[in-house]
Structure 1
């Protein structure tokens, strides 16, 4: 299990060294010596907690906190202000901006260790509760809510460099007939097996697999162009076929199959994540109309569509 990461932000190297010595045995510690560097590091790899100096040249701690809390991707990061100011007004200002605590300098090791530990544990519990709220109870995959949240984050992140994003939607063919033939407990087992096959196919750390609803699933593939999306879709199809689940009620195969639609495009600030969902769903419909057990991929920048 990886250790929590603490980002120390201070323009005085001596202060960083003191706090690092207090925390390094229990946490992964990284540091920034300016407000802008802190924002860049947080956006690149969000830490579990930020220790943020108030008085810095350029962007001071208050401005860094304001930008963090204004960024949907970083707004939930816990921030503890560190300062030599024994000023109630500054403390109130920091807390009103969303900081969770205040530590005064000179640093008292026992107090710093206790406060950081308490807030890291609170964040762990919040993350655990949040994970339960966005996990599908049957399959263990992400649920539709988390898929939509992740899609919003990914489109915003990838839009910075105009990177590719692909979304895959898939549906179990003739699933109603499967339930009618084998019963709902067998239907639940089938859904769980399809979910496991999906995880094996979309296996990069950045990929997200979700149960979209009923017998419908979705994948978010950051950085994947149309060709890469097609390869993942083909692997999903093969993984499902390899399960060899009997399906007497299917009109296309004696075993369970899936119809797949994929949508790919480069991210732009003006494009919302719903566009990928809508386009992937449209291609899923094309696959069903083409006879099911099909893959249809669309690059909705060029409007190029391929079905296989």
Structure 2
């Protein structure tokens, strides 16, 4: 049975009674987070990435307008929906909040039924938007991330690795003799085999930052942030072994009577050097070429063959 994760709502209000009332109102249907001032709102928004923020305008340390401005300036929180809840009831106050990027504006004292209806409406929009974003980022055949999504995540993780000085690992996976497989068994069988390999690759990406993507044709990409050479090699080798363990017959292969993959990868620490994002990709591609030249069904990593 699939468990649907409850959407998260952050209630930000300096009035403890308002926080309590809104929190109790929302708890039966949503995961509720509470913040009592602007600084706490920004910290919890960044840490928890809620689906929606109910934001008081008048707070002593930092007003809601400034909080919203800072949320929109941070790429991590820029797209979080915000509903202002305010005692400022002039039309120009509401217009100002909406111009700044709020999704809605509710005047205090609020009606609980209206609050619940508007929260439900905006969270439905959030769900629909994320569904469309997901579809736009997914390869239709393998259900892995597509090239567009990979490019976005690769750029993000490259910059993160450069700031942190932590290693970034990338692997390219290619199904051995896949043209011969399609010629022998037909393209529908080839599609099924590719989906099976994709499931293995996707299952190996176990941490939130890891990403398996389809590069094109029968080639897949494995992006592993904060992963050193040893750990990346182990993941890649586990993928290679798991694909062989699928026992998909490939009698037309010159490598083995079963479907196999070749993997090339590289790990780079780019904190202080002049490396470019393309350098890691080119290094991984070079190792994939070496794995193929050495007989396929192998993992090579920056010139080192996996045990």
Task: Pick one of 275, 284, 295 that aligns with 2:299.
Answer: 295
Q: Secondary structure at the match of 1:73?
A: coil
Task: Pick one of 10, 15, 19 that aligns with 2:18.
Answer: 15
For residue 116 of structure 2, what is the aligned residue in structure 1?
113
- Against the structure 1 CA distance between its residues 273 and 104, is the aligned structure 2 distance closer, same or farther, given a 3 Å change threshold? farther
- Stretches (4+) displaced over 6 A: 269-272
Shift of 1:251: 2.7
Paired residues of 1:172 and 1:215 also in contact (CA < 8 A): yes
Task: Pick one of 296, 304, 307 that aligns with 1:306.
Answer: 304
Provide structure 1 residue ranges, at least 5 long, that are not aligned to the other structure.
299-304
Q: Do residues 61 (structure 1) and 64 (structure 2) align?
A: yes
Q: Secondary structure at the match of 1:68?
A: helix
Task: Pick one of 119, 126, 130 that aligns with 1:127.
Answer: 130
Distance (Å, rounded) in 2 between the aligned partners of 1:245 and 1:62: 59
Q: Secondary structure at the match of 2:221?
A: strand
Shift of 1:284: 2.2
Which moved further from structure 2: 183-192 or 152-161? 152-161
For residue 283 of structure 1, what is the aligned residue in structure 2?
287
Deviation string for 1:260-307 (max 9, x for gaps)?
Answer: 122323475998765544443333233223332221224xxxxxx422
- Against the structure 1 CA distance between its residues 291 and 93, is the aligned structure 2 distance closer, same or farther, given a 3 Å change threshold? farther
- Against the structure 1 CA distance between its residues 272 and 127, is the aligned structure 2 distance closer, same or farther, given a 3 Å change threshold? farther
1:77-88 to 2 correspondences below 5 Å: 77-88=80-91
TM-score normalized by structure 1? Answer: 0.88
Distance (Å, rounded) in 2 between the aligned partners of 1:100 and 1:291: 58
- Against the structure 1 CA distance between its residues 177 and 290, is the aligned structure 2 distance closer, same or farther, given a 3 Å change threshold? same
Q: Secondary structure at the match of 1:264?
A: strand
Q: Secondary structure at the match of 2:236?
A: helix
Q: Secondary structure at the match of 1:151?
A: helix
TM-score normalized by structure 2? Answer: 0.88
Provide structure 2 residue ranges, at least 5 long, that are not aligned to the other structure.
none
Which moved further from structure 2: 112-121 or 14-23? 14-23
Q: Secondary structure at the match of 1:170?
A: strand
Shift of 1:239: 0.4
Distance (Å, rounded) in 1 between the aligned partners of 2:106 and 2:178: 58
Q: Secondary structure at the match of 1:166?
A: strand
- Against the structure 1 CA distance between its residues 258 and 160, is the aligned structure 2 distance closer, same or farther, given a 3 Å change threshold? same
Distance (Å, rounded) in 1 between the aligned partners of 2:40 and 2:145: 33
Q: Secondary structure at the match of 2:174?
A: strand
Number of aligned residue pairs: give it. Answer: 302
Task: Pick one of 28, 32, 40 that aligns with 1:29.
Answer: 32
